[in-house]
Amino acid sequence: METPKPPAQLVGTNDFVVVANRLPVDQSVSPEGAITWSPSPGGLVTALSPVLEKHRGCWVGWPGTTEQAPEPFRTDSGVLLHPVTLTAEDFENFYEGFSNATLWPLYHDLIVPPQYHRQWWEAYREVNEKFARETASVAAEGATVWVQDYQLQLVPGILRQIRPDLTIGFFLHIPFPAPDLFRQLPWREEIVRGVLGSDVIGFHLESNARNFIHVVEHVSGLEVAGQVGVRQAGAKVQASDGRWVHVGAFPISIDPTPFLNQQVDVAKIRAELGNPRVLILGVDRLDYTKGILQRLHAIEEMHELGALEPDTLFLQIATPSRERIDHYQATRAEVEQAVGRINGRFGQIGRPVVSYHHTSLPKWRLVELYSAADVMLVTPFKDGMNLVAKEYVACHGDGSGALVLSEFAGAAEELAQAYLCNPFDVESIKRQLQHSTKALAQDPDSARARMRQLHTQVVDHDVNVWANAFLHALKDSENM
Ligand code: GDG
């Protein structure tokens, strides 16, 4: 069947288009008030740069301000950055509201109750339409479009209607919940239909993909076939217009290059931190999904029991995130209260046991801290993947260090050699902290062997493996 041609005014010139909530740009304001925009590096940009550059592709996204958006501009490597303008109201209702106070908690297994508001849903629909229209205006005839994440689940469906000539991929960076949880969503049918506008849908884990397939089969009553597999779109779903949509698991990863073989002066970094005998590190966006409070409880109880070396330092970097949303404010308050209490109880003057920083650090500084830490503590209640765990492992090619990792992080599937814990069970966090520190002190060979296996896994399955596997599946779908 011939694909109908799109109206001429809707056709752009870009053969490869990435659509994501955020455009990879940073704004800087000079002392005179002049605004300049520069590309900001990040995991997704790094992963997609080779394809974007090869095709002189385009990235459609929101520049991160509701004030003056930049004009579309090309980066030095030829990628066109195309801003989508959001008003302050869009930001409140679409981003803070439906995306982060409805979908985010629902998809992370109701760690806090999701809020369902019709007005937020309307804004979500309208902003998704805006993204779809902007994408349609930049995509060349027959182009490949890759839509990213939970904020844009309606974009594939809208785009398919206005541009049936496009090949459309969709990747969800957060978990897809169990069908009984997803069924709560008053707009579940619309979301499923939106995502099914794609040719290929990717999730991090097979379990996420199976949850989605179950919803499609039993809630939407559509036909499904094939088997879910990793790094291939082996399952398929027949959308209501008769198209087969392919579904698979594509675990995301990092670009390990900036973390490998860095000549970090670990002794100097540790000296700056007061030369703790054991250094435990946490690095997270300050989000209730990340289990920061639970890990503080574990540390506190271990101090109570005298189960930690007296000069153990727990260093927590908590990057500011979604600061206007109630549950984020409450989480911050709880975390900061716990830090104060623990230091009050167990710290000495000039020598805290918890060093907590509500700040964002440059990447090189994270590399220093990852390299210097004996134990990395990653305890989310639920996480699509968790790249921090992979970054830490990438810094420890020499086999040093240990990773304590929640079994509810997507990363736990690939990083099974980590000290896996259940963050809902403080005893489990304590036990694995103890195992890891004990192994480092008493059985360094086995600790090193575990870390080396983790390191090999991350380096062999980097973000290029992820992007290439997805894009191959998308290419294959064109020939089916
Ligand atoms: C979502 C999903 C999934 C953190 N603090 C600083 C900083 N970071 C960087 C880390 C890492 C990234 O942010 C965080 O990635 P995570 O994967 O750990 O978590 P989310 O932000 O929740 O990401 C998650 C991911 O999407 C990808 O699909 O893995 O499950 O929730 O790269 O290094 N970077 C800098 N300064 C900081 O202070 N420069």
Q: Which stretches of the chain drop beneath a pLDDT of 70?
A: 1-4, 7-9, 41-43
Whether 361 is in the pocket of ligand 1, judged by its Cβ within 6 Å, is: yes
Question: Tell me, what's the pLDDT at 4?
Answer: 65
Question: Tell me, what's the pLDDT at 8?
Answer: 63
Domains and CATH numbers, the chain: 8-253+464-477 (3.40.50.2000), 257-460 (3.40.50.2000)
Ligand 1 atom 38 nearest Cα:
360
Q: 357 CA distance to ligand 1 centroid (A)?
A: 16
Whether 43 is in the pocket of ligand 1, judged by its Cβ within 6 Å, is: yes
Select from 151, 358, 387, 415 the residue to mutate for testing ligand 1; criterion: most ligand atoms less than 8 Å from CB: 387
Residue 317 alpha carbon, nearest atom of ligand 1: 38
Q: 13 CA distance to ligand 1 centroid (A)?
A: 32
Answer positive or negative: Cα dihedral of 415, 431, 295, 150.
Answer: positive
Nearest 10 degrees: Cα torsion 307, 309, 311, 315: -60
Rounded Cα gap, residues 225 and 217, in angstroms: 10
Whether 391 is in the pocket of ligand 1, judged by its Cβ within 6 Å, is: yes
Select from 176, 290, 385, 413 the residue to mutate for testing ligand 1; criterion: most ligand atoms less than 8 Å from CB: 385
Residues 6+ apart with CB under 8 A from 427: none
Question: Under a CB-based contact definition with an 8 Å cutoff, are residues 90 and 64 in contact?
Answer: no
Whether 172 is in the pocket of ligand 1, judged by its Cβ within 6 Å, is: no
- List of long-range contacts for 411-414, beta carbons under 8 Å, 24+ apart: 411/378, 411/383, 411/385, 411/386, 411/387, 413/205, 413/251, 414/251, 414/457, 414/458, 414/461
Answer positive or negative: Cα dihedral of 344, 349, 350, 352.
Answer: negative
Whether 383 is in the pocket of ligand 1, judged by its Cβ within 6 Å, is: yes
Residue 43 alpha carbon, nearest atom of ligand 1: 32
Whether 173 is in the pocket of ligand 1, judged by its Cβ within 6 Å, is: yes
Q: 22 CA distance to ligand 1 centroid (A)?
A: 14
Q: 140 CA distance to ligand 1 centroid (A)?
A: 32
Question: Under a CB-based contact definition with an 8 Å cutoff, are residues 424 and 381 in contact?
Answer: yes
Question: Tell me, what's the pLDDT at 193?
Answer: 97
Ligand 1 atom 3 nearest Cα:
385
